[in-house]
Amino acid sequence: MKRAHVVIVGTVVGLAGLLSFNSTAVNLSLGSLSAVTVPSRSTTTTTPTTTTTGVPHSGGSTPPPTTTRVVPTTTTSAAPSVARSATGTATNYSYGVLSVKVTVSGTKITNVSIGSIDDGGNPRSAYIDQSSIPILEQQAMSAQSASIQGVSGASYTTAGFEQSLQSALSKLGL
């Protein structure tokens, strides 16, 4: 009988503490990677130029030999490189919703950042997102695709990030 009384009092105290808990939304601030400078594409065209040299002919029956030399002339022209951006679809990753914004120049990914994120105010989820998203952004920049390794302990965030990243790359035709 004594045990039942202790269990009931403990349950009531625990329930009262649980019901009095107030959660607030967590403001999530994620820094994005700075844009990587990508050299513009250039094409090099080599055009041969013929130069003929000889010794002045002072007469006689046989003219002196002439030397022909081909000198390559190089012209470089830069192809225009236009930066384009797209935001992937908002993806539910079980602990919230996120979307990834990608900027490309030609076919090269120049910037990856979070377009939007809502972790539902869960502090644990916010902590995981703040820790893992910069790593995921760096992996996307290194891989130059949505084929990233992911972050251990953040498998749901990784899956949502990868799915939204692939959506953004598809919108850009990559």
How far is the C-alpha of 72 from the C-alpha of 134, rounded, in Å? 48
* Amino acid making up residue 100: V
How far is the C-alpha of 65 from the C-alpha of 145, rounded, in Å? 61
- Cα 150 to the chain's mean position, in Å? 13
What is the residue extent of each domain of the chain? 42-78
- Nearest partner of 52 among 38, 43, 35, 65, judged by Cα: 65
Residue with the bigger pLDDT between 28 and 82: it is 82
Residue with the bigger pLDDT between 76 and 118: it is 118
Asked whether the predicted pLDDT for residue 100 surpasses 70, the reply is: yes
pTM for the model stands at 0.55
Average pLDDT in the chain: 77
